[in-house]
Structure 1
Amino acid sequence: MTEQIATLGQLLDGAGTNWRVFDIGRHITKLNKKQFLAIEQAQIPYPFPLAGHAWLAIQFWDSKVSSEPYVWFLKFPVDEQSKLVCASRDHFANMVIAALGNDLTGEQADGKLDNNPYVFAPNANKLAAFNAQLKVLLKQPASQYYEYTQLYFSGKLGFDNWQSVAVQGIADFALRLDSDKNLASLQQAWEQLPAEVLQPLSAMLEHVEIPPVLSEQLLSYAKQAIAQKDILALCCTLRAMSKAQAHTLTVQLVDVILHSDIATESDVTQTIAGRCFNLLSDPERLHIFMDNCAHHQQNEELFPSIFADLVAIPSIRPHLLGLLRKENRSETLARAIGRLFS
């Protein structure tokens, strides 16, 4: 790497592009440039690591060449403190310079990084949600699938006729709840939606700060799901509420779950850990949650896998390590912790 280019931010600036960065490992979350610079210089840990990596989407464009942005989907390893392994970032930057020089946009850039080891392809749901979010940010029209999806959620096609509804259309609808009466349509439709729609829909809504009126409705729906032990419906609702504006309603739902008969269900615990992880930075809630994980009978790998996932998140790590030394914990939790080190 040249002395002039020490970070990806400098590489993008040096190429004359405008750019922005998102974490897309968990929720799709914009990282501001000051924060990203500190991450690149390993001054602060990566805030949302997943499976030992930082998962990034870097959107950039050169307004002199084209208004259409390019996107790099990149994953870089993080160390045991969740700080970026800078050697990997440097390796990627060197490969970019070797392949593209200082011209990152334009026709010559197409396909040049397809076999790069740091480039990955997001799954269909994540890609659709990201594309929908970019179109909103760039004030561009939604995809060609949007209007048909609106028609579906209005109920005019029949909720069982979901086979022609595209994932991208569901993403566009979810990312535009403040447009075209979409919120009202969703509220009327929610309890009638089949699982084939509810699952991808919740995978889109987990990236949306849904309004309080929808959270109130979903909280009531989730409580019914708990009473009926409907795990799929509950997990979909958790995902949909995980980034909600009404944070306290999501807290209320998670606390109800943690004291319910289905608190130890693996799908429920994994959804809380994966989507509502920010609520586990509360030490007492974390203690209850990890105790529930330890009491799961059928899957002995559940506790160590969730522990490994959460201990990497900087906002949770100190509280989870504190739990290792805590005295007033159940024997089951103590044994599960002991097995981590055996």
Structure 2
Amino acid sequence: MSDQIATLGQLLDGAGTQWRAFDIGRHITKLDKKQFLAIEQAQVPYPYPLAGHAWLAIQFWDTKASKEPYVWFLKFPLDEQSMLVSASRDHFADMVIQALGTEITGEQADGKLDNNPYVFTPNANKLAAFNAQVKVLLKQPASQYYEHAQLYFSGKVGFDNWQSVALQGIADFALRLDSDTNLSNLQKAWPHLPVEVLQPLSAMLEHVEIPTSMSKLLVDYAQTAINNSDTVAITAALRSISKGQAQGLCAQLVDTVLSSPAGQDSDVLLTIAGRCFKQLENPERLHVFMDNCAHHQQIDELFPSIFADLVAIPTIRPHLLGLLRKENRSETLARAIGRLFS
């Protein structure tokens, strides 16, 4: 039977399921089925590699049953050109068929793939954000924690009383900014939020195409944080704005941060590489960014690790390789590049 299965899409179709695929490595991004098929057939590189892998969530459900959808969280290796290593995908498909046959939904499927080497469990933030996004897509009600989160962000329970706000509630709130008065409440609340809320909230907003008004607020907020040398607030702003509708404002914020003293902080640099990576498709900004990485003093491995991370992203790779041949580089950047090949 496995001879007839060339892709995960075929496996899922053959089992009679409806399905959709998401990248969940950097941002949670729904992958178009045509795009996913092209990735599976190694016709195009994986668009969002992270640590040499494709990080996927495959959500599927039995068309005959109306139960909750099933989700596989899968991690597949990529080659040097960021193409999917099809042998790993084939191995996974074979293991599924051996364990489950074509009955991949229902009670008999529960727990059968727990020890599968390609299955992983996302961290708590990613899991909460994914659950919230799926409920929005399926037009299902949010979790039981949502209403209390709404109450918290409205300021009615006091911003210091954050201990009672569940992570899933924060995720549901962030993924439903277009509901009720959530957006206006968040904008009023933002300057008053303690770091214990700001950090998980920004880990949710990085998956949301926030509206322009919120991005404007974040640019102003980050400027104050730069003046105060508050790197925690700067990274929260960068994460929150990274997938926003106003990518020009995101670019503006990245430029402002890179030209400030905070622009050589390791957490800030790693946030830009991991979340605001689309802004690094601009060759001049990429040059400034890599120069900042080269000038970072505290962590020896920061430059090579960020280089390895970014060179795998297909839209950045040619510009980064172009930087290797660029003549007007600082001596510090030239030395850092030289060490990559020594």
Counterparts of 1:67 and 1:121, CA distance in 2: 22
Aligned to 1:145: 145
Residue in structure 2 matched with residue 185 of structure 1 by the alignment: 185
- Where 1:20 maps in the other structure, the secondary structure is strand
Residue correspondence of structure 1 range 86-235 to structure 2 within 5 A: 86-235=86-235
C-alpha distance in 2, partners of 1:239/1:328? 31
Distance in 2 (alpha carbons) for counterparts of 1:262 and 1:95: 48
State whether residues 65 and 105 of structure 1, in contact with CA within 8 Å, keep that contact through their aligned partners in structure 2.
no
Name the SS for the 1:131 alignment partner: helix
Q: Tell me the amino acid that sits aligned with residue 81 of structure 1.
A: Q
Inter-partner Cα distance in structure 1 for 2:298 and 2:60: 46
Q: Which residue of 2 aligns with 1:304?
A: 304
Question: How many residues are paired up?
Answer: 342
Deviation at 1:215, TM superposition (A): 0.8
What residue identity is the alignment partner of 1:40?
E
Task: Show the counterpart of 1:40.
Answer: 40
> Residues 271-295 of structure 1, C-alpha deviation per residue, up to 9 Å, x if partnerless?
0000000110111100000000000
1:81 alignment counterpart: 81
In structure 2, what is the Cα distance between the partners aligned to 1:106 and 1:66?
Answer: 11
Query: Alpha-carbon deviation of 1:67?
Result: 3.6
1:5 corresponding residue in structure 2: 5
1:239 aligns with 2:239: yes
CA displacement 1:139-179 (0-9 Å, x = unmatched)? 00000000011111111111011111100000000000000
Give the deviation of 1:218 after TM superposition: 1.0
Q: Distance in 2 between matches of 1:239 and 1:298?
A: 23
Supply the AA of the counterpart residue of 2:166.
A
- Which ranges of structure 1 fall in alignment gaps of 5 or more residues? none
Equivalent residue, structure 1, for 2:291: 291
Equivalent in the alignment of 2:71:
71
Find the aligned partners of 2:96 and 2:62 in 1 and give their Cα distance. Answer: 17
Q: Which runs of 5+ in 2 are unaligned?
A: none
Q: Aligned partners of 1:31 and 1:67: how far apart in 2?
A: 23
Alignment of 1:271-286 (within 5 A): 271-286=271-286
* Structure 1 runs of 4+ with >2 Å offset: none
TM-score of the aligned structures, taking structure 1 as reference length: 0.99
Q: Does the aligned pair in 2 maintain the 1:59–1:71 contact within 8 Å?
A: yes
- For 1:260, the equivalent position in structure 2 comes to 260
| CA distance in structure 2 between the partners assigned to 1:107 and 1:263 by the alignment | 51
Write the distance in 2 (CA, Å) between the matches of 1:156 and 1:338.
56
Counterparts of 2:3 and 2:267, CA distance in 1? 48
CA distance in 2, matches of 1:5, 1:297: 51
* 1:327 alignment counterpart: 327
Work out the CA distance in 1 between the residues paired with 2:278 and 2:80: 20
The Cα shift of 1:296 comes to 0.5
2: CA distance, partners of 1:330 / 1:218: 31
Please say if residues 2 and 97 of structure 2, whose CA atoms lie closer than 8 Å, have aligned partners that are also in contact.
no
> Is the CA contact (8 Å cut-off) linking 2:153 and 2:189 kept in structure 1?
yes
Q: 1:298, CA displacement in angstroms? A: 1.2
% identity of equivalent residues: 78
| TM-score, normalised by the number of residues in structure 2 | 0.99
CA distance in 2, matches of 1:333, 1:248: 27
- Cα distance in 2 for partners of 1:303, 1:25 equals 21
**Are 2:50 and 1:50 aligned?**
yes
- Give the Cα–Cα distance (whole angstroms) in 1 for the partners of residues 267 and 21 of structure 2: 30
In structure 2, the residue corresponding to 1:3 is in which secondary structure? Answer: helix
The answer to whether the Cα contact below 8 Å between 1:65 and 1:106 also exists between their aligned partners in 2 is no
* Deviations 1:207-262, CA, capped at 9 Å, x for gaps: 00001111111111011111111100010000000000011111110111111122
C-alpha displacement of 1:27: 0.1
